[in-house]
Amino acid sequence: MDTALTQFSFLWLLVREILVGTALLLVVLIFHGGAINHVIMRFERLTTNNLALKEYNWVFIHFYGVFIFIALIHIFEVLIWAFFLVKLDLVGNALIAIVFSGSCYTTVGFATDNLPHGWKTIAFFIAFTGLFSLAWTTSAMIGMTNIYREAWKAKYLRRNH
């Protein structure tokens, strides 16, 4: 009977972690999708006008400005995870929660695992969120790089002809 109860407890803890981890992963990815799409669509709208008006330096400025906004989006996502770690009482200190979330999100893994027993796999969900978010950002930035290259060619090829 003890073995069956232990197995049930283990399964319940695992299911709880999967449900909570998946829900939080979805919260962060929905935020990421909305934020990154807003930034990218604004970039495309502004730079389309800049290219039409031959304002190539503005394209460059918008390009580097978007980098700042994207970095802030990722930092905010780390803070979202830290917030939930503190609110779920998994980590008692906000700074430790931020460092742990950032370590997992970036998959660098430099922070000590301070999560209590029964919540250890949350680190995987934080890492999955970071991997998906960074990949999503990378794919979005490829399109931005093409616009940047188009502006650069238009500006500097015009000078050479």
pLDDT in tens, 82-96: 999 999 999 989 999
| Listed residue (52, 44, 42) closest to 154, CA to CA | 52
Q: Is the Cα torsion angle 85, 89, 91, 94 positive or negative in sign? A: positive
Residue 1 pLDDT > 60: no
- pLDDT tens-digit readout, 93-135: 999 999 999 999 999 988 888 899 889 999 999 999 999 999 9
User: Is residue 51 exposed (0-12), middle (13-18) or buried (19+ Cβ within 10 Å)?
Assistant: middle
Q: Is the entire prediction scored with pTM above 0.85?
A: yes
Per-residue model confidence (pLDDT) at position 4? 73
Contacts 24+ apart (CB under 8 A), 27-32: 27/80, 28/77, 28/80, 28/81, 28/129, 28/133, 29/129, 29/132, 29/133, 31/76, 31/77, 31/80, 32/73, 32/77, 32/129, 32/132, 32/133, 32/136
Residue 161 pLDDT > 60: no
For residue 121, give both structure tokens. Answer: 């796999």
| pLDDT > 90: percent of the chain | 80
Average pLDDT, the chain: 93
Cα-Cα-Cα-Cα torsion 140, 143, 149, 150, nearest 10 degrees, comes to -150
Per-residue model confidence (pLDDT) at position 160? 62
Residue 152's alpha-carbon distances to 43, 79, 107, 141, 142, in angstroms, are 16, 36, 34, 16, 15
Mean pLDDT across 59-64: 96
